[in-house]
Chains A and B, each alone.
Chain A
Amino acid sequence: MGFPHPSHPRETPILSKYFGDAGARTLDGWRARGGYEALQQALATDPVDLQNVVKDSGLRGRGGAGFPTGLKWSFMKPDGKIHYMLCNADESEPGTFKDREIMRWTPHGLVEGVALAAHAIYAETAYIYIRGEFTEPYAHVTRAVEEAYAAGVLGANAMGSGKRVDVHVHRGAGAYICGEETALMNSLEGRRGNPRIKPPFPAVAGLFGKPTTINNVETLATVPYIIKHGAEWYKQFGRADNPKSIGTKLFSVCGNITRPGNYEVALGFPFKDFLYDLCGGPLPGREIKAVIPGGSSVPILTREEAENTIMDYEGMAAAGTLLGSGGVIVFDDKQDMVRQIARLVRFYAHESCAQCTQCREGTAWTLRIMERIRDGEGTAEDIDTLLSIADNMTGKTICVLSDSCATPVVSGLKKFRGEFEARIAANRSMVTVPGAFRATAA
């Protein structure tokens, strides 16, 4: 945590160690805390060795998909082509705000990680694509990049290594979909932020059609520590019986919880202890009803399910959900799940890029039905229709926004169907005739 509360003793603060420490924001401050040693060391190392260290460390992408970082880097070969390193700082998943804190407090940590990764993938140019709404993080990262250039950390002769590393900071314009890697590339190129059809994958043809590696802020901020301390050091974090989930992870907690904020724990942490011990549990007199564990796009867990879940990639998968971005949203027993899910759907309906038919029309249709049920005007056939629409929206589009919209609906209907049915049963409007337009339709 670090900010606004001190770290809990059961946390493992690596990335969050300097949260709340304004001194870490400057170049000198960062150097005084051991910063840029890893970059200095890395620039003198062969990229393949860097790729292997990261591969060996078991670090997986922290943006949500959990793809092994070292493996992703190893797709980049010294083929003489221009390569690009991209940092995805468009943290727009509802319930997630960990990258924001990294950029607010340790911008040099990110710049170091980005520069290091650029070297590791044979790139001379890196871009940090920051979410447009992040004004404060943008100011800190921009200042850090300026300082790094002034000090010769970046530029034609980065840290005196003779290697060129350029880092550019680019602000998004406020679209959720620009956090999708190929939409981000389109946006960066000055196009409409629409996801691209894959293949070709970014490692083959990414930004400006060139081989590109794109990583999340948290992933890149972690890399310097791994390079500095070695893969073996990093492997100590995590469940001993699960070598697939290694390292620490930042979890952003929000919703009906006593102490919301960012918590950094080693993967494999019990979710029950996390919710009740670290976060202080529900507010007095309340009880947790549901938890979304990894950002709004992942299936919802009931309290019972959440309490028996282990916080790592495999543990979440076993519970039928995903670790995702680590955005934990807690709902207590005072919350109306129909209303909450309708709100999530509203977000996706608003953010659909409108390319794929299923997503453009499906998200909006789902929203209209959800809001009708919420407003007490649902009908008996609505639940079946919702499930059928969700089925038509899943696995059929270019990106996963459509699936992400269907997920809370499907898991919500599965786990809180009673709330939906109660709303529908309370419908006091005219008796409906299946297959006919309702006289009271808003």
Chain B
Amino acid sequence: MADAGVNVKTVNLTIEGRPVTVPDGTSILEAAKMAGVLIPHYCYHPGLPVAGVCRMCLVEVEKFPKLAPSCATSVGEGQVVHVHSPKALEARKGVLEFLLINHPLDCPICDQAGECELQDYTFAEGRADSRYREPKRFNPVEDFGGDVLYVQNRCILCTRCVRFMDDVAKDPVLNVSERGDRAFIGKAEGHDLTNPWAGNVVDLCPVGALLSKDFLNKARAWELDRAPSVCTGCSQGCNIVIDTRDNVAVRMRPRPNADVNQYYMCEVGRAGYREFNRRDRVEQPMVRNGHTLRIADWEDAITAAARALAGQRLMVLVSPNLSNETLFLVERLVAHANGQAAFRVDTGDEVALPGVPDLALRSERAANATAARQFGFAQLASAQLSLRDGDALLVVGEQLDGIDVADLDRASTIVHIGTTLPDVLAARANVVLPIANISEEEGTLTNLRGRVQRFLQAKAAPGLARPSWYVMADLLAAAGGEGQYFSPADVFDALSVTHAPFATLSYERLGLLGLPVLSPEIASAEVSG
């Protein structure tokens, strides 16, 4: 549907009285979405092959002899579709009753409660009572390995998980075992759900049958606050939602974006939420006084930092996980002080998701190395900073893991802007400025394909920690640099003025799905035109 408009034959039909025009070959279910009508469904998922087995999406199509499964029926010219006709409602009510006869109805202890499609559709269209008088089927809970727990009693056998593993992950370890009402989701003998993308089956499961062991019993869905964000696990830039409960991140889930990650994210990314909850955070600005770092107020600390950096050659070590905005301000400071900036990138094995083009856990395990390069920062291959005696060192967001201590000792002054205080800096830093992490501030990131994507704040930063762009802007001003910034959007606007690839972009234009950075030629043409 991405190439709509280019010689695509369209079909006109009416769904629930609403006329809608869609490309030929669209399913009635997708056409109804476009018309603003949600047809209840379980087995259908836009990222998976159509199965047509749950029979929940049955609708009445005029002139059809039987009810049609809307997920598996293509639109036809002039069709009139009734989603909420008595016949269709009765059929779906029947399906819901069948799905619930053996369901344990243990919503009070089920993690899915509150975000469960079985709950939602039963509430919308199901029976208020049950006519089932027989003993319910019972099966034990099974550990599928990896992060996945299978609660068989709640399973409605929609086979989304099976189809994901077969057709998207191409690691067919799940199957439907047995027949009739004895059927269950089976796991291939000797295999576990340890595929690096297997966690997606938990998100795909429309009910509480596949659960994340990591999230098990941590929170009720209605207690969660959700914020759209971007995963920082690697340079892919998967769109995510960060779920927080009482200012603690409890899980991350993929947020659909057809151009980046479709509906998926990997296990490495999912585990990333723990980093947001670190308890060893720096919460106050600190300035060295003799042998100790003393708590200072922000104004004094910023002044002290600017003074500490003045006069010497400035060397900046930045984290490639900082936002475009923060990196941009680092670049301003470096330009102002005529210094140099460098960054290091962690690497790991690349793990592709075979069923989705250009989606992988990238070997570059940093969210914004693309922008760091764009701003002209040098990528360090070793732990050597190559400082000269008497240099001023500014560390922004870097954890300094494995750094060469002898190298650090050459610096005359060290200013640390970070979420935590690395051990090697405890005795060396002259000024420490606490900043928020990615989940606590707002900004943009540029992924490996040059796509700029926004992330929003999910929780509050601890203590007096401030957003990283804010601290950098203050430091830049204290060092005598130009510019006044009151929001990340201001910083981005300044960035788009000075950097041609960003020229046509703004927070409004980016929206929540992001846009690719235009090539300089196109950008300049659009600005002048």
A: which residues have CB within 8 A of B?
175, 177, 192, 197, 349-358, 360-365, 368-369, 372, 379, 381, 385, 388, 391-392, 395-398, 435, 437-438, 441-442
Chain A contacts of B246 at CB under 8 A? none
B345 contacts chain A at the CB level, 8 A cutoff: no
Closest CB of chain B to A301's CB: distance in Å? 25
In whole angstroms, how far apart are the Cα atoms of A349 and B180 in the complex? Answer: 6
Chain B contacts of A361 at CB under 8 A? 98-99, 101-102, 181
Among B55-73, those with CB < 8 Å from A are 55-56, 58, 66-67, 69, 72
8 contacts between A and B (CB under 8 A): A354-B180, A357-B56, A361-B99, A364-B180, A365-B98, A365-B134, A385-B131, A392-B91
User: Which of B56, B175, B180 is A192 in contact with, Cβ under 8 Å?
Assistant: B175
Interface SS of B by simple majority: loop
In whole angstroms, how far apart are the Cα atoms of A442 and B134 in the complex? Answer: 7
Question: Would A354 and B157 count as touching, CB distance under 8 A?
Answer: yes
Question: Would A349 and B181 count as touching, CB distance under 8 A?
Answer: yes
Among B331-386, those with CB < 8 Å from A are none
Question: Would A357 and B181 count as touching, CB distance under 8 A?
Answer: no
Question: Would B101 and A365 count as touching, CB distance under 8 A?
Answer: yes
Question: Would A357 and B54 count as touching, CB distance under 8 A?
Answer: yes
Which A residue's beta carbon lies closest to that of B184? A354
B: which residues have CB within 8 A of A?
50-56, 58, 66-67, 69, 72, 91, 94-95, 97-99, 101-102, 129, 131-135, 156-157, 175-176, 178-183
Question: Would A197 and B52 count as touching, CB distance under 8 A?
Answer: yes
Closest CB of chain B to A121's CB: distance in Å? 27
Question: Would B181 and A358 count as touching, CB distance under 8 A?
Answer: no
Chain A contacts of B50 at CB under 8 A? 197
Question: Would B133 and A396 count as touching, CB distance under 8 A?
Answer: no
In whole angstroms, how far apart are the Cα atoms of A381 and B133 in the complex? Answer: 11
Closest CB of chain A to B312's CB: distance in Å? 71
Closest CB of chain B to A440's CB: distance in Å? 11
Question: Would A364 and B181 count as touching, CB distance under 8 A?
Answer: yes
In whole angstroms, how far apart are the Cα atoms of A442 and B135 in the complex? Answer: 7
Chain B contacts of A353 at CB under 8 A? 179
- Assuming the contacts A361-B98, A362-B98, A396-B66, asked whether A354 and B176 have C-beta atoms less than 8 A apart, the reply is yes
Question: Would B180 and A357 count as touching, CB distance under 8 A?
Answer: no
Question: Would B66 and A395 count as touching, CB distance under 8 A?
Answer: yes
Question: Would A395 and B179 count as touching, CB distance under 8 A?
Answer: no
User: Which of B66, B94, B156 is A358 in contact with, Cβ under 8 Å?
Assistant: B94
In whole angstroms, how far apart are the Cα atoms of A293 and B67 in the complex? Answer: 29
Closest CB of chain A to B326's CB: distance in Å? 52
Question: Would B55 and A360 count as touching, CB distance under 8 A?
Answer: no
Chain A contacts of B53 at CB under 8 A? 355-357, 398
Question: Would A354 and B178 count as touching, CB distance under 8 A?
Answer: yes
Chain B contacts of A349 at CB under 8 A? 180-181
Which A residue's beta carbon lies closest to that of B98? A361
- Assuming the contacts A364-B180, A365-B132, A437-B133, asked whether A357 and B55 have C-beta atoms less than 8 A apart, the reply is yes
Chain A contacts of B72 at CB under 8 A? 197
Question: Would A351 and B179 count as touching, CB distance under 8 A?
Answer: yes
Chain B contacts of A385 at CB under 8 A? 131
- 9 closest A-B pairs by CB: A392-B94, A354-B183, A364-B181, A361-B98, A368-B134, A352-B180, A355-B53, A197-B52, A197-B72
In whole angstroms, how far apart are the Cα atoms of A372 and B134 in the complex? Answer: 9
Chain A contacts of B183 at CB under 8 A? 354, 360
